[in-house]
Chain A
Amino acid sequence: MIPPETTSKEPKEMSAAEEQSQEREAAPDLSAMGERRQGHGVKVRGLHAYYGSVHAVKGVDIDFPANEVTAIIGPSGCGKSTMVRCINRMHEEIPGARSEGHVTLDELDVYGAGVDVTAVRRMIGMVFQKPNPFPTMSIFDNVAAGLRLTGTKSDNLRERVHRALRAVGLWGEVKNRLNSPGIGLSGGQQQRLCIARAVAVEPEVILMDEPASALDPIATLKVEELIDELKNRYTIVIVTHNMQQAARVAKSTVFMLDGELVEHAETTKLFTNPSDERTERYVTGKFG
């Protein structure tokens, strides 16, 4: 349901009902996206990735369960970002880069013969470290960009954009200025705008490459709350170098080192009693 857009200036004081509705608009509201869909998990098998002759990911097997948040942690250069970019086949866009292995979304192998790469990316969305809204587009156009760029014929474009904005909890903050430029928002809002853009395309999986590392602590917490909501509808994979963040948002955590998967365990276990010595040394900061 799209509320009527207010055009007149509101008086400063608000009634209790208005305050309540403002609060509701500020919280992420995934129910705006419609009934709950069944989630889809991702399985990675025997994934190898190369930059030219550099072997960056060395045979990784991971299951990402449906409707769960899985975090990937590890030191710089361990291959975590590379591995995640192989999931939506963004890795091969880099000149000289290639990958081998299988990544299956339910039964579909993303690397299968004859698979349309752009279709894969529509099903597996991605949010980047630095918020990157399109500078020449308004807030509305930014969220609609995913639909327009993929040539999705949509007769209810406006509604889909509004729903996506509601889903990420931005609606209350931007509903009166949907036509102002996307880059006019604060960093945290821009990142949520990018998440709305990804969500509007209605993917099955959302990959997040250090989504909050460029944000201040409050914006970070908002994004984390949003992730917690998003998992009800999507499968989420989040790469982060911030262990506390992984500990807060993820149900299970993967630790990678030098391109290899070292440990994959339930988050609590990984952070209270890891099985592998290398994991222990990394999370306690024993190697710098």
Chain B
Amino acid sequence: MSATALIAEAATAAWPTPLSQSRTVARLHSVTKRYGQVTALDNFSLELRSGEVVALLGPNGAGKTTAVRLLLGLISPDSGSVRVLGRDPRDADARTRIGAMLQVSRVPEMLRVREHIDLFSSYYPNPLPTAEVLRIAKLEGIADQMFGKLSGGQKQRALFGLAVCGNPDLVFLDEPTVGMDIESRRALWDQIRALSAGGKTVLLTTHYLEEADMLANRIVVINKGKLLCEGTPTEIKHRVSGRRIRCITQLDPDFLTTLPSVVDVHQDREAVVILAEHPEKVVREMLLRDETLHGLEISAAALEDAFLALTSDAAQAHA
């Protein structure tokens, strides 16, 4: 069996969504978008295939929101093309099959949650029943509250409700969990997983690698408007993480950097910290050569730190 078949099998095993029917639902093709002097997206391409959850991952100002706004037809590219559901994203028919959750600072406060959902549902030809939307977005207890009275997390859930109320095939979630506490973030993750289980295509933007890892079957890492890398969460984590070895040793740091798969060596007080893809090999060598070695710890490199390292390295490389 070929290696690619194995990978494909592994992917389908981890993600039961029908990757087999991978038709392109939306795509940005070598899109460049400038705001004055700032290039928000630089020759950026992205493809969403039917039924997949794609996370667009990057730090603030990376161009994630610009990509979403282009796909929603809210702005047009300086060059390149945007197609959504086979149409121009400004096409009204395309929009009836799209739901969106954008970063909204305030919503009209003097309408109740139920009223907002009723209104947004009316925009779609085949909406979900309001009761169903309230259930999916976990708004049942607060349906009759004015929007202005909701907490931050409740507001995000209500906006999520507005994104899904039209029963869309394609859902864009721009930083859906921003400003939420851990508990409500996890609750929203469950809801996004339920969407994907229902066969929806989802594009979400986030600056948390953990969030992308938990939700997406494909992660696209972007910084300063450019594509950095793209792959399954496992592939991305492999690229950005490695392991962190910490110990007290007499071995020379210059020697340690020559050991197989070592990415970085630095001193931390009396100990030395080594980042390596294959810590077992490194530790075996070190133990053979230094009997005084002690205080050994091996841990996963913090995902967020590693991600920051990746984006900042790339930034330096591009500079």
Q: Do A and B come from one complex?
A: no
A-side residues, CB < 8 A to B, are none
B-side residues, CB < 8 A to A, are none
